Amino acid sequence: MQERRKAIALGFFDGVHLGHQALLRRTIERAEERDMTPAVFTFDRSPKEFVTGVPVPLLTTAEARREAVQLLFPIKEVIVEPFDEKMMTMPWVDFVLYLAQEYHAGWLVAGHDFRFGYKNSGTPALLSKKAATLGMGCDIIPAVTLDGVTVSSTYIRTLLREGNVEEAARFLGRSFSLSGPVRHGKGIGSSRLGTPTVNLVPPAGQLVPAFGVYAASVTVGGKVYDAVTNVGVRPTVDTNGGVTVESHLLDQSVQVYGRGCRVEFLRRLRPEQKFSDIEELRVQIGRDAAAARAFFQERSPGR
Q: What proportion of the chain, given as a percentage, has pLDDT over 90?
A: 73
| 205-232 pLDDT tens trace | 899 999 999 999 999 888 899 999 999 8
Range name among 7-16, 125-134, 167-176, 280-289 with the lowest pLDDT average:
280-289
Check: CB of residue 180 under 8 Å from CB of residue 203.
yes
What pLDDT sits at residue 25? Answer: 98
226, β-bridge pairs: 217
Neighbours of 295 (CB within 10 A): 18
CATH for 119? 3.40.50.620
Assess if residue 88 is contained within a domain.
yes
Measured CA to CA, the distance from residue 38 to residue 191 in angstroms comes to 52
Assess if residue 159 is contained within a domain.
no
Instruction: Measure Cα distances from 21 to 10, 16, 17, 34, 68 in Å.
Output: 12, 6, 6, 20, 10
Check: CB of residue 43 under 8 Å from CB of residue 56.
no
pLDDT exceeds 90 at position 5? yes
Average pLDDT score over residue span 10-38: 98
pLDDT exceeds 60 at position 190? no
What pLDDT sits at residue 111? Answer: 97
Q: What's the burial of 90, exposed, middle or buried (CB within 10 Å: 0-12/13-18/19+)?
A: middle
**Residue 153 corresponds to which amino acid?**
S
Residues 183 and 275 in one domain: yes
* Mean pLDDT, the chain, integer: 90
Which one has a higher pLDDT value, 252 or 124? 124
| 136-180 pLDDT tens trace | 999 999 999 999 999 999 999 999 999 999 999 999 999 999 998
Count of domains observed in the chain:
2
Assess if residue 227 is contained within a domain.
yes
Neighbours of 46 (CB within 10 A): 19
Q: Please, which pLDDT band fits residue 108 given cuts at 50, 70 and 90?
A: very high
Q: Is the pTM of this model over 0.75?
A: yes
Average pLDDT score over residue span 263-271: 97
What pLDDT sits at residue 193? Answer: 40
CATH for 232? 2.40.30.30
Q: Please, which pLDDT band fits residue 269 given cuts at 50, 70 and 90?
A: very high
Assess if residue 53 is contained within a domain.
yes
| 230-262 pLDDT tens trace | 998 865 555 556 788 999 888 766 666 557 889
Residues 116 and 185 in one domain: no
Assess if residue 168 is contained within a domain.
no
Assess if residue 261 is contained within a domain.
yes
Q: Please, which pLDDT band fits residue 284 given cuts at 50, 70 and 90?
A: confident
Measured CA to CA, the distance from residue 129 to residue 37 in angstroms comes to 22
Residues 141 and 208 in one domain: no
Measured CA to CA, the distance from residue 246 to residue 243 in angstroms comes to 10
Q: List, as one string, the DSSP characters of 258-290.
A: TSEEEEEEEEEEEE----SSHHHHHHHHHHHHH
Residues 96 and 180 in one domain: no
- Structural domain including 190 reads 175-299
Residues 202 and 128 in one domain: no
Label residue 236 left, alpha or beta by phi (over 0 means left) and psi (-120 to 50 means alpha).
alpha
